[in-house]
Amino acid sequence: MRDKVLYVLKLIGVYLAIFVVCSAVFVALFHTPILNGIEVLMYRGLFFIVFTGILAAVCMGVLRHFWKKIDIKDIVMMFVIYCCVNTVFFVLVPVTVERSVSVFMLSYMEENRDHSFSEEEIKEAFTDKYVDEYGAFEKRFKEQIETGTIIDIGDGTYRITSTGETTVKLFRFIAKMFDTDERLVYPDED
């Protein structure tokens, strides 16, 4: 029994060590020029997660040569656990920070903490800075072209693609399933 407990603790330690090291590599990749051509943070991050997930599995495979109790299922589980945990964290935190109105609003107020703001002043700062100066709309619009959900017709107009229509159907399904504000997925309905 004691041997089994020690084995499990060692294995957990191996998983954690590989997870921490590969997660540090994941974060470091954002500070390199690798895949800088991918301007959509989420897509760049997902590529990095898969890459470092493979790295984590390879590390587990290398350790298998030194510790025979590691088997193929541990290698597969290392990849799966690593990718799942990092994807959840990445989408919930960095991607949200990059896209969040709340993050901008709170950060703006913190930088100007000596001032009390009316709701109208915050709304104006949001529109002037986030939307106009920082090009929030243009950035999201360009993302949709890159992802293939809308297409440039060539005469200065754009149309939704079949991929875009499928994406909207998925969003509407999720909105219904989680009872979110459906005005965002049915903007023309009153």
Nearest to 134 by CA among 116, 108, 159: 108
CA distance 139 to 76: 37
> Are the C-beta atoms of residues 79 and 54 closer than 8 Å to each other?
yes
Give the mean pLDDT of 11-33: 96
Q: Angle at the Cα of 174 (from 94 to 185), degrees rounded to 5?
A: 90
> Are the C-beta atoms of residues 26 and 47 closer than 8 Å to each other?
no
Nearest to 107 by CA among 87, 88, 134, 143: 134
Phi-psi region of 8 (alpha: psi -120 to 50; beta: other; left: phi over 0): alpha
**Is residue 30 one of the residues assigned to a domain?**
yes
Asked whether the predicted pLDDT for residue 164 surpasses 80, the reply is yes
Structural domain boundaries, residue 23:
2-98
What confidence score (pLDDT) does residue 68 get?
Answer: 85
- Radius of gyration of the chain from its Cα atoms, rounded to whole angstroms: 22
Residue-wise pLDDT tens digits, 26-68: 999 999 999 999 888 899 999 999 999 999 999 999 999 998 8
**Is residue 131 one of the residues assigned to a domain?**
no
> Are the C-beta atoms of residues 16 and 58 closer than 8 Å to each other?
no
When divided into structural domains, the chain yields a total of 2
What confidence score (pLDDT) does residue 114 get?
Answer: 95
Residues 7 and 89 in one domain: yes
Residue 162 phi, psi (nearest 5): -65, -35
**Is residue 105 one of the residues assigned to a domain?**
no
Residue where a domain stops, chosen among 70, 98, 126 = 98
DSSP 64-85: HHH-TT--HHHHHHHHHHHHHH
What confidence score (pLDDT) does residue 190 get?
Answer: 66
Query: How many helices (H) does the chain have, and how many strands (E)?
Result: 8, 2
Residues 82 and 14 in one domain: yes
